[in-house]
Amino acid sequence: MSDGLEKAEDEVLCEIRESCDCERLSYSVSVSGVPTHLRSLSFMRKNEKEEDNAQILYLHGTCASALGFAYAYAHARQGENAQKYRVHALDLPGFGRSVAPRDMLLNRSPEELIRYYITCIQVYIRDVMRRTEDQMVVLVGHSFGGYLACRFAAASPDLLHKLVLVNCVGMFPLLGRWTFYLGWMFSMGLPQCVLRSVSRFVPLLDKAVMSRGCSAFGAYYFRLLSCPHAYGDKVVRKFFQVNGTWARCDQFLLYNLFGIRVPVALIHGERDPIVPAEQGKVIQEVAGGPPCFVIPDAGHAPYSDDPSAFFSTLHQAICSCAKPSAASHTAPLPLHHRDAFKGRWSPANTLENVSLQYAYVRRNIRIV
């Protein structure tokens, strides 16, 4: 990791430590033959009594990091619903702080990558969090981190007590009303590809950013996206078929959810343009158990939009988790939009087709 990113992170950590006990953790291990250096943050509020048998493990999404979650946690108001768990926020390898050889990851298939990330999470829970048999671990995944968390819960239910999915991508083939823009952005390699290509000019750009009164976290985030170790956008592209007009997840998770045997809860931002809040309501209907919480006026990163509302909702979600019901489907959800939507798909009617896939699920899946 570059010295500039380390320095920017230190400044943000100083701000976080005004209200939280926060420490850096690191662990080097070989995972599936890939030398990996895992880095994370462990934190909770100062002067708050920790529940010894409970911890949260948070997995971030694309263009994000553990520090962003800790920063939001530190700025949330402490209320009656404040959770008293110690939080571990893991930086996923390839997304900036946790380092793994780029070529060794990007040359792998999606299923090989899933097995790699599942093993990383297993190692972290067992060796870093030092989970014991009587200890509760709540896995919280946001966006692509939710995708990985869902796959992990299906593969290693014995290591988890509960699962909370926050605006989880990949539950359905199509995303929200930004499907068109995401397809265009991923095809063009935005924004990280461009920032990485100009990383040699980051010191000059830093001065321009800071001269406009950018916060310490803003400077850190800019450094993170331009870091040569941050190629998470390329990892995520392994799971989406994209062209200039759309992004589609072929290995979607909806049917995997029915096989998860740990209690689950869903959190959505009301105004999320990437993962519509309707997705959570549809899953709640067809899965028959997991509660769905919608945070008003929040977007794709609700912990950043309204930290106080998010962490209060997270506490409610953890307390309300329920196991998904077994379900059968009378017809499989087609992978290709034209199979389900009779060739009517175009950028102009993206919203219509997103709604059609939800209607298709409501029509063809039954709880058994």
Q: State residue 104's pLDDT score.
A: 85
Characterize the bridge pairing of strands 136-142 and 247-249.
unpaired
Mean pLDDT of 310-333: 81
Q: What is the pLDDT of residue 231?
A: 85
pLDDT of residue 81: 46
Confidence of residue 184 (pLDDT cuts 50, 70, 90): low
> Which is higher by pLDDT, 323 or 242?
323
- Above 80 in pLDDT, residue 115? yes
Which class is 3-367 in CATH?
alpha beta
Lowest mean pLDDT among 23-32, 79-88, 168-177: 79-88
Please tell me the distance from the alpha carbon of residue 16 to that of residue 294, in angstroms, as a whole number: 27
pLDDT of residue 300: 93
Give pLDDT tens digits for 55-112. Answer: 999 999 988 899 999 999 998 876 544 557 889 999 999 887 888 888 888 899 999 9
Average pLDDT over the chain, rounded to whole?
Answer: 82
In which band, very low, low, confident or very high, does the pLDDT at 156 lie, cut at 50, 70 and 90? very high
Q: What is the per-residue pLDDT for 205?
A: 54
| Per-residue model confidence (pLDDT) at position 211 | 46
Q: What percent of the chain has pLDDT over 90?
A: 41
Res 189: pLDDT: 60
What pLDDT band is residue 338 in, cutting at 50, 70 and 90?
A: very low
Residue indicated by tokens 């298939």: 109
Domain spans of the chain, in order of start: 3-367
Integer angstrom CA distances of residue 321 from 8, 131, 263, 316, 357: 37, 21, 5, 9, 26
- Range among 1-10, 213-222, 294-303 with highest mean pLDDT value: 294-303
Q: What is the pLDDT of residue 354?
A: 74
Whether residue 46 has pLDDT greater than 60:
yes
Q: Please state, in angstroms and rounded to a whole number, the distance separating the CA atoms of residues 108 and 102.
A: 10
If DSSP states are collapsed to H, E and C, what string results for 275-299?
A: CCHHHHHHHHHHHCCCCEEEECCCC
Q: Does 154 score more than 50 pLDDT? A: yes
Highest mean pLDDT among 50-54, 78-82, 362-366: 362-366
What does the buried/exposed string (b/e) look like for 282-291 if buried means 16 or more CB atoms within 10 Å of the residue's CB? bbbebbbbbb
- When computed from its CA atoms, the radius of gyration of the chain, rounded to whole angstroms, is 20
Higher model confidence: residue 308 or residue 349? 308
